């Protein structure tokens, strides 16, 4: 089976998560709240893709040559985002169905990512020194080259700029293929970049689905690809990169566990983690999907989590009071309900009902709490990508760590305890790219993030993000 066919099959099976659109030549996204059609999008043609790749390759040297210019453009772009935050947030609500409060936070975080990386354009990642024979070793970092960015629909502004900001700081030129579901908001973000002085050839956008991605993945001018999305599609992308040794940066699915130890502040931990399970209605790779609590507080934890989730307002995402919006599509809502219904009768399940709150047409699912499922149950190991939280009791620290690490995933995790030493000890044993202590989803552009195991390859953000888009070159200067 070809890599293209593998991606096509994986994406077809997982389309509700990644793109929310079918395979028509014309892209026809729907508003998740109203189910009304959004403006149609014409996919980029093969000839246009070739022209885009040529432009990105031609613009690389000029863009890489002037770090002061890169810094200035990125700072101005950040300010343009902040100035347009109201319209951008409204577009995010219309295309993703996320609550307006989340949308505003996403735009603010995206601007912060640009601003932080603007300060990294002039950092020196190379070294120089003497070798044993007295000759000089000069190590430099160069831009990896034109890179492809495949961006998901769920956090399309932040995940776009989180990835391309360090690439731009490194001097890379970028080709962006957004999800068909969020092509319009992506276009708006890039137009703001143009107004801030971003050259057209430095960041270009293309539209379409798997055929467009495949064309660029096999274009000889591409040097790296960044993909955020499901593990299934990410694995197919990775297989495709092997043909040309294309550098992959993959942030994939998660089945993220929070370990709450007996000495934790339950009044803080339980509401925080319950809310972390329903960020973007659970359609987020870093959502808290597994809560591990000591058996001595298990009953208390179940009650507190259920109370928190029942009190959250589910409804029209355009309203400030709404905390949970609809799922991205009817097909994805059906998928989430299938996972929930599959465990009813096997574990204690509360919530998990398909509803249409506030009379909206979109499909919403009330937060589901699955109490004490069997540790081999599919709900423990499957990335549901919806508002579903399992609660699993453990007996001791060793049992907690074993349970937390049981899945194939390793994106993020958390440990809650009042003992700093214990926090570090448990965090060191959790198999996740990021481990939070007494918190959840506190991410910064300054600090690296990424997955272990089947949750991805490479790291985004911070110096690590810039290094991801550079090649290391050694230049040797002989004595005399």
Inside any domain, residue 338: yes
Mean pLDDT estimate for the chain? 93
Q: What is the mean pLDDT of residues 23-35?
A: 83
Structure tokens of 248? 């992959």
Q: Which of 119-133, 296-310, 416-430, 440-454 is the least confident region? A: 119-133
Structure tokens of 263? 């000495």
Spatial separation of the C-alpha atoms in residues 460 and 445, rounded to whole Å: 8
Inside any domain, residue 175: yes
Spatial separation of the C-alpha atoms in residues 25 and 45, rounded to whole Å: 10
Residue 331: give the domain boundaries.
256-445
Cβ burial 6-39 (10 Å sphere, 16+ → b, else e): bbbebbeebbbbbbbbeeeeebebbbbbeeeebe
Which pTM value belongs to this model?
0.93
What is the CA 201 to chain-centroid distance, rounded?
A: 25
- Residues carrying an active site annotation: 251
pLDDT tens per residue across span 336-392: 999 999 999 887 899 999 999 887 899 999 999 999 999 899 999 999 999 999 999
Q: What is the DSSP letter of 300?
A: H
Q: Are residues 439 and 467 in the same domain?
A: no
Q: What is the dihedral of CA 358, 363, 369, 370, to 10 degrees?
A: 160
Spatial separation of the C-alpha atoms in residues 210 and 189, rounded to whole Å: 22
Considering the chain, what percentage of its residues have pLDDT values greater than 70? 95
Inside any domain, residue 84: yes
Spatial separation of the C-alpha atoms in residues 272 and 236, rounded to whole Å: 35
Spatial separation of the C-alpha atoms in residues 199 and 194, rounded to whole Å: 7
9 pLDDT more than 90: no
CA distances from 378 to 234, 255, 384, 387, 390 (A): 21, 11, 10, 16, 11
Q: Are residues 174 and 265 in the same domain?
A: no
Spatial separation of the C-alpha atoms in residues 63 and 333, rounded to whole Å: 44
Instruction: Find the DSSP H helices in 67-151.
Output: 67-83, 85-96, 100-118
Q: What is the mean pLDDT of residues 304-324?
A: 97
pLDDT at 8: 35
Q: Are residues 404 and 312 in the same domain?
A: yes
pLDDT at 172: 98
Q: What is the mean pLDDT of residues 435-464?
A: 95
Spatial separation of the C-alpha atoms in residues 29 and 182, rounded to whole Å: 8
- Beta-carbon contacts of 17 under 8 Å, excluding residues fewer than 6 positions away, are 152, 229, 230, 283, 328, 332, 385
Closest CA to 449 of 277, 282, 251, 280: 251
17 pLDDT more than 80: no
Q: Are residues 437 and 461 in the same domain?
A: no
Closest CA to 406 of 380, 444, 370, 387: 380
Q: Are residues 87 and 216 in the same domain?
A: yes
12 pLDDT more than 60: no
Q: Are residues 74 and 126 in the same domain?
A: yes
pLDDT at 125: 79
Q: Are residues 79 and 95 in the same domain?
A: yes
Spatial separation of the C-alpha atoms in residues 89 and 167, rounded to whole Å: 25
Q: Are residues 92 and 195 in the same domain?
A: yes
Q: What is the mean pLDDT of residues 272-292?
A: 98
Q: Are residues 436 and 472 in the same domain?
A: no
Ordered strands of the 136-143 beta sheet: 127-130, 136-143, 470-477
Place of tokens 């659109």: 21
Closest CA to 408 of 238, 228, 255, 229: 255
Structure tokens of 348? 């204690």
Q: Are residues 264 and 200 in the same domain?
A: no
Inside any domain, residue 151: yes
Structure tokens of 272? 């925080």
Q: How confident is the model at residue 224 (pLDDT cuts 50, 70, 90)?
A: very high
Q: What is the mean pLDDT of residues 307-334?
A: 96
pLDDT at 360: 87
- CATH number, domain containing residue 9: 3.40.605.10
Spatial separation of the C-alpha atoms in residues 383 and 238, rounded to whole Å: 19
- Beta-carbon contacts of 300 under 8 Å, excluding residues fewer than 6 positions away, are 266
Q: Count the helix, strand and coil residues of the chain and give each as a percent rounded to the nearest 5.
A: 45, 20, 35
pLDDT tens per residue across span 393-416: 999 999 999 999 999 999 999 999
Q: Are residues 416 and 441 in the same domain?
A: yes
Cβ burial 223-261 (10 Å sphere, 16+ → b, else e): bbbbbbbbbbbbbbbbbbbeeeebbbbbbbbbbbbbbbb
Inside any domain, residue 450: no
16 pLDDT more than 80: no
Phi/psi at 441 (5° precision): 60, 35
What are the residues facing 434 on neighbouring strands? 412
- CATH number, domain containing residue 399: 3.40.309.10
pLDDT tens per residue across span 233-255: 999 999 999 988 999 999 999 99
pLDDT tens per residue across span 48-106: 999 999 999 999 999 999 999 999 999 999 999 999 999 999 999 999 999 999 999 99
Q: What is the DSSP letter of 30?
A: B
pLDDT at 345: 82
Q: Give the count of domains, the chain.
A: 2
Spatial separation of the C-alpha atoms in residues 261 and 462, rounded to whole Å: 31
Ordered strands of the 224-228 beta sheet: 203-205, 174-178, 147-151, 224-228, 247-251, 456-457
- Beta-carbon contacts of 287 under 8 Å, excluding residues fewer than 6 positions away, are 254, 256, 276, 277, 278, 279, 280
């Amino acid at each position: 089976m070809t890599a293209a066919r593998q991606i096509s099959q994986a994406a077809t099976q997982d389309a509700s998560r990644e793109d929310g659109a079918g395979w028509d030549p014309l892209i026809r996204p729907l508003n998740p709240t109203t189910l009304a059609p959004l403006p149609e999008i014409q996919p980029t043609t093969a000839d246009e893709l070739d022209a885009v790749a040529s432009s990105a390759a031609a613009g690389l040297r000029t863009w890489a040559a002037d770090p002061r210019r890169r810094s200035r453009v990125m700072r101005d772009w950040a300010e343009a985002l902040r100035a347009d935050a109201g319209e951008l947030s409204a577009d995010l609500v219309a295309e993703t169905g996320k609550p307006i409060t989340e949308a505003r936070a996403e735009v603010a975080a995206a601007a912060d990512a640009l601003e932080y990386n603007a300060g990294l354009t002039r950092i020196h990642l190379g070294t120089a020194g003497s070798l044993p024979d007295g000759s000089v070793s000069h190590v430099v970092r160069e831009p990896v080259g034109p890179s492809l960015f495949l961006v998901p629909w769920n956090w399309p502004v932040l995940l776009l700029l989180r990835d391309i900001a360090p690439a731009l700081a490194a001097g890379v030129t970028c080709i962006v293929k957004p999800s068909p579901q969020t092509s319009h908001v992506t276009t708006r973000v890039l137009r703001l970049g143009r107004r801030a002085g971003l050259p057209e050839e430095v960041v270009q956008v293309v539209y379409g689905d798997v055929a467009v991605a495949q064309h660029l993945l096999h274009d000889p001018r591409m040097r790296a690809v960044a993909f955020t999305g499901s593990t299934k599609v990410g694995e197919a992308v990775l297989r495709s990169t092997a043909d040309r040794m294309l550098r992959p940066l993959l942030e994939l699915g998660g089945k993220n566990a929070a370990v709450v130890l007996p000495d934790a502040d339950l009044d803080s931990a339980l509401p925080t983690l319950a809310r972390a399970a329903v960020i973007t209605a659970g359609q987020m790779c870093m959502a808290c999907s597994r809560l591990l609590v000591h058996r001595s507080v298990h009953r208390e934890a179940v009650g507190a989590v259920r109370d928190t989730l029942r009190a959250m307002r589910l409804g029209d995402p355009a309203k400030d009071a709404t905390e949970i919006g609809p799922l991205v599509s009817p097909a994805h809502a059906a998928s989430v309900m299938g996972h929930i219904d599959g465990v009813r009768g096997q574990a204690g399940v509360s919530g998990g009902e398909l509803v249409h709150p506030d009379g909206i047409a979109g499909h919403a699912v009330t937060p589901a709490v699955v109490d004490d499922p069997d540790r081999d149950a599919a709900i423990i190991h499957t990335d549901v990508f919806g508002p579903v939280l399992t609660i699993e009791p453990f007996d001791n620290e060793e049992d907690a760590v074993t349970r937390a690490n049981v899945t194939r995933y390793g994106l993020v995790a958390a440990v809650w305890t009042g003992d700093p030493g214990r926090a570090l000890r448990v965090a060191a044993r959790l198999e996740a790219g990021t481990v939070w202590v007494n918190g959840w989803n506190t991410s910064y552009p300054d600090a690296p993030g990424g997955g272990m195991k089947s949750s991805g390859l490479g790291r985004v953000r911070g110096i690590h993000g810039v290094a991801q888009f550079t090649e290391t070159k050694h230049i040797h200067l002989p004595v005399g």
